[in-house]
Amino acid sequence: MARDPRYDILFEPLAIGPVTAKNRFYQVPHCNGGGYRDPSAAAEMRGIKAQGGWGVIFTEQCEMHPTSEITPFIELRLWEDQDIPMIAKMADRMKEHGALAGIQLAYSGINGPNFYTKEVPMAPSALPIRTFTNDPVQARALDRQDIRDLRRWFVTAAKRSRTAGFDLICLYGAHGFGIFQHFLSRATNHRTDEYGGSLENRSRFVREVIADLRDAVGDSMGLTLRVSLDEITGDLGFGNAEVRDFIEMHSDLPDLWDLAHGTWEDCSGPSRFKEEAAQQDLVQGIKALTSRPVVGVGRFTSPDVMVRQIKSGILDFIGCARPSIADPFLPKKIEEGRIEDIRECIGCNICITGDMTMSISRCTQNPTFMEEWRKGWHPERMNAKGDSSSVLIIGAGPAGLEAARACAERGYDVALAEAQSEIGGRVARERLLPGLSAWGRVVDYRAYQLSQKGNVETYLNSSLTANDILQFGFENIAIATGASWRRDGVARQHVSPLPIDPALPLYTPDDLMAGSIPTGTVVLYDDDHYYMGGVLAELLVQNGATVVLVTPSAYVSDWTNNTLEQASIHRKLAMMGVDIQLNRGVVAIGADHVLTNCTYTDVTRPIPCDAVVMVASRIGNDGLYQALKARQDDWPDAGLKSVKLIGDANAPGPIAWATYAGHRYARELDEPDRGDALSFRREITALAE
Ligand code: ADP
Ligand code: SF4
């Protein structure tokens, strides 16, 4: 199919200084939890985006000098010539299909604790290091010689970047993370010399660095500057009005203005708190201040919204991080007139947890993310079909849906049986909870894909038993029957059931999602710590309950620190009037109260209430699997070759774990058993001479 002419504007080339991007799809720098530890995995991930048609592809932040690094987070490093091959590999892969390869040079200043290099951090002013973890480290102020050194280090890093094959350099001054912002902001720049005070003075450092880089590499490389649209740090912050003054004052300074939002939490806001194009008001009008092109982000997944951003003169390039993770082939699909095939980002921020937990990233929508090299998984192509021909998948939650989609893609005859009257499993229910509607895209994308395939049949209202299955004659069975929330309180505080008086009405998340919602005073006990407790507290308040949220953690929805939404959740609940009781557990449930305990002193206190909501843990629904296993002797007569338990039924986890399990099932069907071999390729640091 040909592309719709109304999207033509997205495919117009545009110059960035001395180089030209082939289209307007601009993958802004984004982390991936792999970085210097998994360089080939990270390089291949970028290469897949090149295949997918992005015009500009950037690295994650690249630490450009050992005097500033953000251990424990794993990004890239360019400290010596011996780092060049690693990033050259990435540049090569980025450029394979005509994209411009960009590197983001980061000097973290007030944000770099230097735990690894043990160097004393340097920043415009002497202040405590500003990290997520309140590290007990302070930076000293750069003196004039330090500033001269730092300028030279930028030049050296730029030259190394050119040697590695990059076309673009992004100078990082956004999210509170980059030294340029630290100079620009009065919050972090208290200097009284020519680098502090007036905006003119605070801009001096970035002017000098860009002038240096123009001399050194500007003939062949485009120089971009990434600043935050609004540093939300009280009155002293580099706010939106001052950002506009700065750009007006220096309109042609970089070859492109890259406009991010305040902190990383603001910029990568989850769909629970931020809509697509949420930054529009902050960006609007900036393009008129400069003759240079402007890129901005906003979790853009809709080509119509993208076109509007360009036609209405807000942006020149459509910046995407998460949308390019969820669908590396987003540009190609628009180009080929396959809009319906776009796998839209759901804004869950699971990808970010890979960086925050220093593991390697996952994506809920795209299970192949960061497995392109490790496992050879391609987001758009499956491996060839194996020897058998049919698969029955039981359960149409995220695991079953992804298994069905991917098995069908491989060419198997697929039957998908679902007990309920609609597909989606947990996502069909959770998408109806406050703030989670975008998560429904997990189902919508797969429902459409399945509808386009001739080799998949979906059977609703089909609650299957082992007997049914043995009569059908399918060769392979995947059991994706999900999980149920426990009523007995077993989770982390309690590894065995709590004493519970049955007189007090007790609800699980499943009950609430099924529409049974208590009123009056409700104690919500959250020993799960991800989103469910906080979301249900909202739901209860919306339904008129008075909510006391009790959690043994020091934070409400603790794990959402990793999805960058913990502060937003606490703020929202507090403003809705939820009584948040932190560092408190539950020791017993009485007839008219919940007996709580302090997690430090164990001192107990009853909270009188009309009902309790137990957000504890889940149990996999593996009954059907166990029943089939018990009849293994009957399998050969039934023509059954394999039975596998996948997703939440196997071990409950976030939705991303379920789509991954479904995808992995499809990839490995009929494949030779690898025995004890590692299931992925891995890179090991070479020993030095
Ligand atoms: P996952 O996250 O692993 O995909 P879900 O809980 O979202 O799990 O989905 C599991 C789905 O399986 C639910 O929609 C449920 O109705 C369905 N299911 C459970 N048991 C059966 C069964 N015996 N036959 C058919 N469908 C089932
Ligand atoms: Fe989007 Fe979630 Fe995938 Fe991140 S993990 S790209 S937020 S769908």
Residue for token pair 């009405």: 505
* Ligand lying nearest the CA atom of residue 443: 1
318 falls within a domain: yes
Tell me, in angstroms, the distance from the centre of ligand 1 to residue 395's CA.
Answer: 4
493 shares a domain with 463: no
Give the mean pLDDT of 396-415: 98
* Ligand lying nearest the CA atom of residue 653: 1
Q: Which of 136, 121, 83 is nearest to 105 (CA)?
A: 83
654 falls within a domain: yes
364 falls within a domain: no
On the question of pLDDT at 235 being above 90, the answer is no
- C-beta of 247 in contact with ligand 1 (< 6 A): no
295 shares a domain with 232: yes
220 shares a domain with 188: yes
User: Domain boundary residue among 333, 356, 379?
Assistant: 356
610 shares a domain with 643: no
pLDDT tens digit sequence for 567-591: 999 999 999 999 999 999 999 999 9
Tell me, in angstroms, the distance from the centre of ligand 2 to residue 393's CA.
Answer: 25
491 shares a domain with 475: no
In SS3 terms, 242-311 reads as: HHHHHHHHCCCCCCEEEEECCEHHHHCCCCCCCCCCCCHHHHCCCHHHCCCCEEECCCCCCHHHHHHHHH
509 shares a domain with 451: no
For ligand 1, atom 14, name the residue with the nearest CA: 425
pTM as predicted? 0.97
363 falls within a domain: no
State how many domains the chain has: 3
pLDDT tens digit sequence for 33-80: 999 999 999 999 999 999 999 999 999 999 999 999 999 999 999 999
pLDDT tens digit sequence for 102-152: 999 999 999 999 999 999 999 999 999 998 889 999 999 999 999 999 999
For ligand 2, atom 3, name the residue with the nearest CA: 363
Domain with 529 in it: what CATH number? 3.50.50.60
Q: What pLDDT, on the 0 to 100 scale, is given for residue 390?
A: 98
Please, which residues bridge with residue 141 across strands?
123
Give the mean pLDDT of 353-382: 98
545 falls within a domain: yes
Tell me, in angstroms, the distance from the centre of ligand 2 to residue 229's CA.
Answer: 23
pLDDT bucket at 91, cuts 50 / 70 / 90: very high
541 shares a domain with 440: no
Contact 50/352 with Cβ under 8 angstroms?
no
- C-beta of 417 in contact with ligand 1 (< 6 A): yes
94 shares a domain with 216: yes
pLDDT tens digit sequence for 464-517: 999 999 999 999 999 999 999 999 999 999 999 999 999 999 999 999 999 999
Tell me, in angstroms, the distance from the centre of ligand 2 to residue 113's CA.
Answer: 28
Average of per-residue pLDDT values in the chain: 96
The CA distance from 399 to 411, in Å, is 18
Higher pLDDT, 426 or 236: 426
What H or E segment, with its residue span, contains residue 207?
helix 204-217
Q: What pLDDT, on the 0 to 100 scale, is given for residue 175?
A: 86
The CA distance from 499 to 641, in Å, is 45
Look up residue 441 and give its two tokens: 């895209």
Q: What pLDDT, on the 0 to 100 scale, is given for residue 404?
A: 98
DSSP 178: S
- C-beta of 420 in contact with ligand 1 (< 6 A): yes
Look up residue 68 and give its two tokens: 């500033």
Look up residue 21 and give its two tokens: 């991007």
Contact 650/388 with Cβ under 8 angstroms?
no
**Exposed, middle or buried, 385 (CB in 10 Å: 0-12/13-18/19+)?**
middle
Which residues are CB-neighbours of 412 under 8 A, at least 6 positions away?
385, 388, 389, 390, 391, 455, 476, 669
On the question of pLDDT at 237 being above 90, the answer is no
- C-beta of 296 in contact with ligand 1 (< 6 A): no
Contact 229/281 with Cβ under 8 angstroms?
no
- Phi, psi dihedral angles at 458 (to 5 degrees): -110, 130
pLDDT bucket at 655, cuts 50 / 70 / 90: very high
Q: What pLDDT, on the 0 to 100 scale, is given for residue 231?
A: 85
160 shares a domain with 66: yes
Which residues are CB-neighbours of 306 under 8 A, at least 6 positions away?
7, 10, 24, 300, 318
Secondary-structure percent of the chain, ordered helix, strand, coil, rounded to 5: 35, 20, 45
Query: Sheet containing 593-598: which strands, arranged edge to edge?
Result: 584-589, 593-598, 604-608
pLDDT bucket at 262, cuts 50 / 70 / 90: confident
On the question of pLDDT at 266 being above 90, the answer is no
| Radius of gyration (C-alpha) of the chain in whole angstroms | 27
Ligand 2 atom with minimal separation from the 271 CA: 7
On the question of pLDDT at 171 being above 80, the answer is yes
* Ligand lying nearest the CA atom of residue 625: 1
Tell me, in angstroms, the distance from the centre of ligand 1 to residue 670's CA.
Answer: 23
429 falls within a domain: yes
Ligand 2 atom with minimal separation from the 349 CA: 7
Domain of residue 156 covers: 5-356
Side-chain-facing half-sphere of 6: CA atoms under 13 Å: 8
On the question of pLDDT at 283 being above 90, the answer is no
Per the rule left: phi > 0, alpha: psi between -120 and 50, beta: everything else, 358 is left
pLDDT bucket at 628, cuts 50 / 70 / 90: very high
For ligand 2, atom 5, name the residue with the nearest CA: 363
On the question of pLDDT at 657 being above 90, the answer is yes
pLDDT bucket at 688, cuts 50 / 70 / 90: confident
For 402-467, list the strands marked E by DSSP. 413-417, 456-459
65 shares a domain with 142: yes
Ligand 2 atom with minimal separation from the 347 CA: 7
Q: What pLDDT, on the 0 to 100 scale, is given for residue 257?
A: 96
The residue type of 174 is A
Look up residue 365 and give its two tokens: 């929508």
Look up residue 402 and give its two tokens: 């992804």
Q: What pLDDT, on the 0 to 100 scale, is given for residue 107?
A: 98
Look up residue 455 and give its two tokens: 């080799």
Q: Which of 349, 355, 326 is nearest to 568 (CA)?
A: 349
Give ligand 2 pocket residues (Cβ under 6 A): 322, 325-326, 345-351, 363-365
Tell me, in angstroms, the distance from the centre of ligand 1 to residue 631's CA.
Answer: 21
- C-beta of 397 in contact with ligand 1 (< 6 A): yes
383 falls within a domain: no
**Exposed, middle or buried, 520 (CB in 10 Å: 0-12/13-18/19+)?**
exposed
On the question of pLDDT at 265 being above 90, the answer is no
Ligand 1 atom with minimal separation from the 483 CA: 6
Domain with 327 in it: what CATH number? 3.20.20.70
Q: What pLDDT, on the 0 to 100 scale, is given for residue 104?
A: 98
593 shares a domain with 531: yes
On the question of pLDDT at 263 being above 90, the answer is no
Give the mean pLDDT of 81-97: 97
Q: Which of 517, 645, 657, 526 is nearest to 583 (CA)?
A: 526
Query: Which long-range contacts (C-beta less than 8 Å, at least 24 apart) are formed by 6-12?
Result: 6/304, 6/307, 7/303, 7/306, 7/307, 7/334, 7/335, 9/307, 9/310, 9/311, 10/303, 10/306, 10/307, 10/310, 10/318, 10/331, 10/334, 11/335
Tell me the best of 363, 657, 659 to mutate to test the pocket of ligand 2, counting ligand atoms within 8 Å of each CB and taking the most: 363
pLDDT bucket at 277, cuts 50 / 70 / 90: confident
Contact 395/479 with Cβ under 8 angstroms?
yes
384 falls within a domain: no
On the question of pLDDT at 671 being above 90, the answer is yes
* Ligand lying nearest the CA atom of residue 350: 2
**Exposed, middle or buried, 242 (CB in 10 Å: 0-12/13-18/19+)?**
middle
pLDDT bucket at 619, cuts 50 / 70 / 90: very high
494 shares a domain with 478: no
On the question of pLDDT at 244 being above 90, the answer is yes
